[in-house]
Amino acid sequence: MGSAAPVSVVGDGVRDPLDVMRLREQFPVLAREVHGKPLVYFDNAATVQRPLAVIEAMDDFYRRYNANVHRGVHQLSVEASEAFEQSREDVRRFLNAASEREIVFTRGTTEAVNLVANSYLQPRLKPGDEILITHMEHHANIVPWQMLCERTGAVLKVAPINQRGELMLDAMAEMISERTKLIGVVHVSNALGTVNPVAEVCALASPHGIPVLVDGAQATPHEVVDVQALGCDFYCLSAHKMYGPTGIGALWAREALLEDMPPWQGGGEMIQWVSFEGTTYNDIPHRFEAGTPNISGAIGLGAAIRWLEETGIERMKAHEQRLLKLATDKMTEIDGLTIIGQAAAKGPVISFTLDGVHPNDLGTIIDHHGVALRTGHHCAMPVMQFFGVPATARVSFAAYNLHAEIDVFLKGLEQARQMLA
């Protein structure tokens, strides 16, 4: 093609927009019916569906080269170890980390936060020290710190949010002091959709030398993440939110921090030499991966990352943002419907309440339209308390969702209202 050839730029300025119908063919589950209706899967923030590329990569491991890693000289073990370590490299590339030594496999975001709480922070905390988080955190980025505070006498501080569900950065800045020993912030809120200004939070923290942990569980499926550009110190992710399997995720941490951290769990894999006189520990990242790891999970995570890169996160995001806008516009017109979380920058998540209809009943009725959505507190009970609601219903979109599916959902909403309100 000559350089003068016109380039067609579509929609949000994204070249070559996503072919959603072809994408859908890669997700076998989308072909099924629920209560006699085509499945409309709008519970993607809880866990997303898996493409064939991921299912087949895990299947292939079990069929062809299932073996333990780092332990055998035999061929299968060599292949399994290579695939496992290839996935670590995939995570490194995905996050733009400096080295794959900075990538620790965990069970997911939850375990990654717990690892930092136990191994990094606990030895550094004194009574009266402070951990600063935000009011919109997932329980995974609240409870491990509360438990740590109970053990150490440290204090958990909570930076406020406003009525739109945005972090109040100025107030957060004022809460930082020499007592602050770590800041934890969610990159994209699962309950509100808010995309937080993580780089700005890191800029607040860095003059004080305070490490920042970012809960990236909801960001990784929708945003291109560059941990070096963000300026954070710890970044946590879960594979099952990003088209990969459950039970696997990763912690990224700066190499210097990891090197300084004692092991958390003990066992195989994490040692160099064991005797009853004393044991020496393995190098990072293996020091933090005690026991036989989730090998097929790691292989699935690597496959998911390659699939995301091939499909194109920016293209997927453009499509998801169109769905978000369309659904938000239509839902805003519905009498008695309140959207909880109206931040200027949002991931494809809409939490809402409908007057006269409890989210639980809404969930059941809408399920009979084939629509899967989430109801309840979304593991963010303090967010519910802030907005004074017992629970919300939540729709969340992935790249394979369709405009037409939003109409099915709206019809279900209408029926719920007629039945109950």
Q: Which positions are catalytic? A: 379
CB nearer another protein, residue 267 or residue 336:
336
By CB under 6 A, tell whether 49 contacts ligand PLP.
no
Minimum CB distance to another protein, residue 374 (Å): 11
Nearer to ligand PLP, 192 or 323 (CB): 192
Among 26, 44, 49, 110, binds ligand PLP (CB under 6 A): 110
CB atoms within 10 A of CB 196: 23
* Residues between 123 and 182 that touch ligand PLP (CB under 6 A): 138, 140
What's the CA gap between 406 and 255, in Å, rounded?
Answer: 44
CB of 181 to another protein, least distance (A): 30
Torsion sign (Cα): 283, 187, 366, 407:
negative
Among 81, 103, 108, 166, binds ligand PLP (CB under 6 A): 108
Cα-Cα-Cα-Cα dihedral of 408, 414, 420, 421, to 10°? 150
SS3 content of the chain, % helix, strand, coil (to 5): 45, 20, 40
Select 140 or 159, whichever has its Cβ closest to ligand PLP.
140
Handedness of CA 132, 138, 141, 147 (dihedral sign): positive
Q: Is 394 in the site for ligand PLP (CB under 6 A)?
A: no
User: Could you tell me which of 119, 109, 93 has the C-alpha nearest to residue 290?
Assistant: 119
The DSSP-derived string for 85-123 is HHHHHHHHHHHT-S-GGGEEEESSHHHHHHHIIIIIIGG
Residue 391 partner contact from another protein, ligand PLP, none using kind-dependent CB cut-offs of 5 to 8 Å: another protein
Residue 382 contacts residue 142 (beta carbons within 8 Å): yes
Stretch of 11-19, 45-53, 111-119, 357-365 contacting another protein, by CB under 8 A: 357-365
**List 186, 213, 227, 258, residue binding ligand PLP (CB under 6 A):** 186
Q: Which does 375 bind (CB under 5 to 8 A by kind): ligand PLP, another protein, none?
A: another protein
Would you say 121 or 365 has its CB closer to another protein?
Answer: 365
Residue 175 interacts with another protein (CB under 8 A): yes or no: no
| Residue 384 binding result from ligand PLP, another protein, none, given CB thresholds of 5 to 8 Å by partner type | another protein
Among 384, 395, 399, 408, indicate the residue that binds another protein (CB under 8 A): 384
> For the chain, what is the radius of gyration of the CA atoms?
22
Half-sphere exposure (Cβ direction) of 107: Cα atoms closer than 13 Å: 9
Partner from another protein, ligand PLP, none binding residue 215, C-beta < 5-8 Å depending on class: ligand PLP
Q: Of the candidates 17, 38, 231, 376, which one interacts with another protein according to CB under 8 A?
A: 376
* Range list of H helices, 116-158: 143-152
47 is a site residue for another protein (CB under 8 A): no
Per-residue DSSP letter, 196? P
420 binds another protein (CB under 8 A): yes
360 forms part of the interface with another protein (CB under 8 A): yes
Structure tokens given for 289: 């991966």
Task: Say how many Å lie between the first and final Cα of the chain, rounded.
Answer: 60
Is position 381 an interface residue for another protein (rule: CB under 8 A)? yes
CB of 91 to ligand PLP, least distance (A): 15
Strand ranges (DSSP E) for 175-282? 180-186, 212-215, 234-238, 249-253, 271-275, 278-281
Residue from 77, 78, 358, 402 in contact with another protein (CB under 8 A)? 358
Interface with ligand PLP in residues 193-232 (CB under 6 A): 215, 217-218
DSSP per residue, 39-60:
-EE-BTTT-----HHHHHHHHH
Distance between CA atoms of residues 206 and 231, nearest Å: 8
Q: Which does 312 bind (CB under 5 to 8 A by kind): ligand PLP, another protein, none?
A: none
Residue 236 or 327: the one with the smaller Cβ distance to ligand PLP is 236
The helices-and-strands tally (H runs, E runs) of the chain is 14, 19
Please report, as ranges, the residues that interact with ligand PLP according to CB under 6 A: 108-110, 138, 140, 186, 190, 215, 217-218, 238, 249, 379
Please report, as ranges, the residues that interact with another protein according to CB under 8 A: 358-361, 364-365, 368, 375-377, 381, 384, 389-391, 419-420
